[in-house]
């Protein structure tokens, strides 16, 4: 069984207004952030600009955002690397516009995570074949897919093509596992939720 859908997201640039998310034909409103509340990945430009554009410093900043004092990548274990991968994959998947230098730093940082590997001959939702970057998460059971799935790139130009994820739905005997392919068609900056450019 297969199906196609359009996902659309409108995100508040600073979290002060509600946002709209639609995936696989279902949509929902996200309330604005409360005073002192934050989310990862950050959406507001000021917070994104403060993130380091040096890959190693970016990893340490992600790990230390909860008030930790990690000073070296050598201090990180499997659990920390798993969380860093989750954070970097979220940043790269959910923030289409970043300050100059942040996206390349995030990709380089992702490549520094132990367990990240490349897999050839992976397709995106448009059927384009590329090389995928994925992660064998040592904190999950063997064969279980972690967050982020596959980032698929053109094997010649290295241009990002799309995502390939393994997803599940339902519980118990009704539980189903499926492959979700996606690509970013377009993005724009607008003045309000659900406004078209």
Question: pLDDT (tens digit, 0 to 9) for every residue of the chain, 197 residues total?
Answer: 566 777 778 777 777 888 888 877 788 888 887 887 777 888 788 889 999 999 999 999 998 886 678 788 888 889 999 999 999 998 998 888 899 999 999 999 999 999 999 999 998 888 899 999 999 888 887 766 566 688 899 999 988 888 888 777 788 888 888 787 888 777 778 888 888 88
Cα distance between residue 159 and residue 98, in whole Å: 16
How many CB atoms are closer than 10 A to CB 106? 24
Q: Give Cα separations from 6 to 22, 28, 182, 183, 185 (angstroms).
A: 8, 14, 9, 10, 10
Indicate the pTM of the whole model: 0.81
Cα separation, 72 vs 60, in Å, equals 7
Structure tokens belonging to residue 151 = 């980032």
Number of residues written out for the chain: 197
Q: Please compute, for residue 12, the number of CA atoms within 13 A of its CA located in the half-sphere on the CB side.
A: 13
3-class secondary structure, 144: coil
The DSSP letter of residue 195 is: -
């Amino acid at each position: 069984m297969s199906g196609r859908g359009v996902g659309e997201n409108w995100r508040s640039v600073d979290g002060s207004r509600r946002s709209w998310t639609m995936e696989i034909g279902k949509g929902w409103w996200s309330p604005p952030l409360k005073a002192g509340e934050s989310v990862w990945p950050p959406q507001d430009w000021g917070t994104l600009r403060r993130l380091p554009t040096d890959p190693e410093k970016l990893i340490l900043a992600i790990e230390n955002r909860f008030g930790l004092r990690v000073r070296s990548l050598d201090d990180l274990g499997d659990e920390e690397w798993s969380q860093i991968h989750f954070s970097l994959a979220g940043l790269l998947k959910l923030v289409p516009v970043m300050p100059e230098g942040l996206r390349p730093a995030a990709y380089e940082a992702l490549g520094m995570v132990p367990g990240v590997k490349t897999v050839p001959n992976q397709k995106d939702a448009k059927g384009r074949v590329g090389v995928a970057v994925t992660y064998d998460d040592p904190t999950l059971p063997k064969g279980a897919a972690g967050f982020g799935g596959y980032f698929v790139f053109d094997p010649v130009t290295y241009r990002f093509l799309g995502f390939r994820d393994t997803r599940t739905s339902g519980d118990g005997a009704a539980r189903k596992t499926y492959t979700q392919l996606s690509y970013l068609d377009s993005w724009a900056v607008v003045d309000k939720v659900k406004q078209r450019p």
